[in-house]
A and B are shown apart, each in its own frame.
Chain A
Amino acid sequence: MPGRRPRWILRIAEERMDILFQLADKEFSKHPERSHRYVELARRISKKYNLRIPRKWKRRFCKSCYKFLKPGYNCRIRLSRGKIHYQCLECGRIMRFPYIREKKLKRRNKIEYHTSKKRADEKVPINNNITDRESRSQ
């Protein structure tokens, strides 16, 4: 997939995107216009080298006006209808991210918990028998 782009170029590009988003987060309280500019620069790098925006920062800018989002200041996060709603308070756009994977994991854990509990119940008397026999032989 990297093609003609050497590995070190991709590494530097990823580091630069990370640095820009960190600065955007830091500068937001005093100079919000700078953090919007940093998002623009990071997006330019990602478009130029066909790289994804780091997963950590993927939800930290608006998909419509491309402004930096800081929850509690210019972004509202709510859960509704099985999705996470990120509302950008600059333009009003709502981004929706499903969390079906987490739901499935929860369901699976619940089932596993019950099945493992049953088996544990079955095993306990057998183990007791063994220990009883051993203790008798001793």
Chain B
Amino acid sequence: MITPRNIFRHELIGLKVKVAESSHKGFKGLKGKVIDETKNTLKIELEDEKEIIVPKNVAIFHFKLPDGQIVEIDGRIILGRPEERIKRKFKKI
């Protein structure tokens, strides 16, 4: 189960996401579904089926969990390869 406590370690692909804040103005306010993840970026499919690549370390994301909760996450926390995030130790920011 994905909960707000273990979302940093869990799968982000398939979740609905909104880019709440970004140092690049063009990314701000974009909504869509995560379809791919790399070490430094998230690939998001927008509602009009366009795909964009958003860097993680300059943005703040709002993820919607399968049970409807919305979690705000700083992109710097979810830096790292998807399979290595499971065992990483996280500093409190």
A residues in contact (CB < 8 Å) with B: 5, 9, 12-13, 15-16, 19-20, 23, 31, 34, 37-38, 41, 44-45, 48-49
| B14 CB within 8 Å of chain A | yes
Q: Inter-chain contact count A-B, CB under 8 Å?
A: 38
Known contacts A34-B35, A37-B36, A16 near B10 by CB under 8 Å: yes
Q: In the complex, which residues 1-26 of chain B have their Cβ closer than 8 Å to any Cβ of chain A?
A: 1, 6, 9-11, 13-14
If over half of A's interface residues share one DSSP class (helix, strand or loop), that class is named, otherwise mixed; here it is: helix
How far does the alpha carbon of A19 sit from the alpha carbon of B65 in the complex, in Å? Answer: 13
Contact B1 A9 (CB under 8 A): no
| B80 CB within 8 Å of chain A | no
B residues in contact (CB < 8 Å) with A: 1, 6, 9-11, 13-14, 35-37, 82-84, 86-87
Contact A9 B11 (CB under 8 A): no
Contact B13 A23 (CB under 8 A): yes
Contact A9 B36 (CB under 8 A): no
Contact A41 B82 (CB under 8 A): yes
Contact A48 B13 (CB under 8 A): no
Which residues does chain A contribute within 8 Å of B10, judged by CB atoms? 12, 15-16
Chain B, Cβ-Cβ closest to A34: B35
